[in-house]
Amino acid sequence: MKRVLVTGADGSIGRAAVIGLQKSGYDVTGLSLRYDHTSTADRPLAGDARSAKDVTAALDGVDAVLHLAAIPHPSLGTPEEVFENNVAATFNVLAQAGQQGIDRVVIASSINAFGVPMNVNEVQPAYYPLDEEVEADIADAYSLSKSVDEQSARMAWRRWGTNVIALRFPLVKTREELFKFAAMAERDPSVMAREGWAYLDLRDGVRAIIAALESPAGGAHVVGLAADDILIDRQTDELLREYAPTVPLRRPVTGRGSLVDTTRARELLGFRPQYSIHDEDQVVSAVTT
Ligand SMILES: NC(=O)c1ccc[n+]([C@@H]2O[C@H](COP(=O)([O-])OP(=O)(O)OC[C@H]3O[C@@H](n4cnc5c(N)ncnc54)[C@H](O)[C@@H]3O)[C@@H](O)[C@H]2O)c1
């Protein structure tokens, strides 16, 4: 694997992934609807991930694909726009890659793929810690698009033998941005309760992406990700008693322990997060640099 196509290369995860891949020795082709930032990709292409022509051109000389292009929140378009863009882009990228015999694709799914966090109704997760099998209860176009993307990944494996890993990202931000989200969530913990106050430092997001691209795992897999702790500086069991008292807890969680089960990420990808928002050393360096 030498050259990776990154779709959504101008996005917040995309820009960091392009740099991370280059630091790991890969050549990178970027594809994005437009570029509002200067891309470090050595082949940055403007194009639509829904277009067979644009994706075919972008796949020239490519050995593996990282598909991030999406409208990343239901509020950023009408339900029709969000669903159509995300599902059509993922299917098209998988179809073009599959038909060209590219056998390794990593796609961005979301912790929202099971639908509960963004659900407009008063629903709760079936249990904590959240794992990849937790029952879906979907009431918005974005969550549905991510759930369908995971099905498209399974189809691509069956139809073209493409090995696909769908990473269920939680909130993925730089350390500085995470502090802002944490302050907001601390003011009102109910806003992130249904996603278990989960987060992932952007640097760990990029490490997980590279682990998935380099994984020898065959087949199509959904993999949940999160930092080892929660975003809020409070004890997890205390938050659960307050904000999710009726949700069964399948195993005890101590301290600020995470409410996402990341066993599969460890076992399939050998991935463990390195960064915590609560790590004092990092707080010091973030403040002084
Ligand atoms: N950042 C997070 O917290 C988070 C959490 C869960 C999942 N995700 C997923 O990760 C991926 C990347 O998220 P992000 O935060 O970097 O989003 P972002 O909005 O910063 O980047 C997305 C990029 O994709 C591009 N794009 C959208 N539709 C396209 C299309 N049809 N063709 C080509 N380019 C297109 C946009 O122009 C943008 O540059 C998305 O799939 C998102 O749903 C992100």
CA distance 107 to 146: 10
Question: Which residue, among 221, 90, 227, has the nearest Cα to 167 in the 3D structure?
Answer: 221
What is the tens place of the pLDDT at every residue in 236-245? 999 999 999 9
CA distance 6 to 107: 10
Give distance in angstroms: CA of 69 to centre of ligand 1: 5
pLDDT at residue 1, rounded to an integer: 75
Cβ–ligand 1 distance for 49 under 6 Å, the answer yes
Q: Which of 80-89, 260-269, 278-287 has the lowest average pLDDT?
A: 278-287
Cβ–ligand 1 distance for 198 under 6 Å, the answer no
Residue 281 has pLDDT above 70, yes or no: no
Mean pLDDT of 129-158: 98
Cβ–ligand 1 distance for 85 under 6 Å, the answer yes
Query: Residue whose CA is closest, atom 9 of ligand 1?
Result: 108
Long-range contacts of 275-283 (CB under 8 A, 24+ apart): 275/175, 275/201, 275/203, 275/204, 275/227, 276/201, 276/227, 276/228, 276/229, 277/175, 277/178, 277/179, 277/182, 277/199, 277/201, 277/227, 277/229, 277/231, 278/229, 278/233, 282/175
Query: Residue whose CA is closest, atom 12 of ligand 1?
Result: 68
What is the tens place of the pLDDT at every residue in 79-129? 999 999 999 999 999 999 999 999 999 999 999 999 999 999 999 999 999
Cβ–ligand 1 distance for 11 under 6 Å, the answer yes
Residue 289 has pLDDT above 60, yes or no: no
Domains delineated in the chain:
3-173+199-227+259-269 (3.40.50.720)
Query: Residue whose CA is closest, atom 37 of ligand 1?
Result: 33
219-252: b or e for each residue (b if 16 or more CB lie within 10 Å)?
ebbbbbbbbbbbbbebebeebbeebbeebeeeee
What is the tens place of the pLDDT at every residue in 180-191? 999 999 999 999
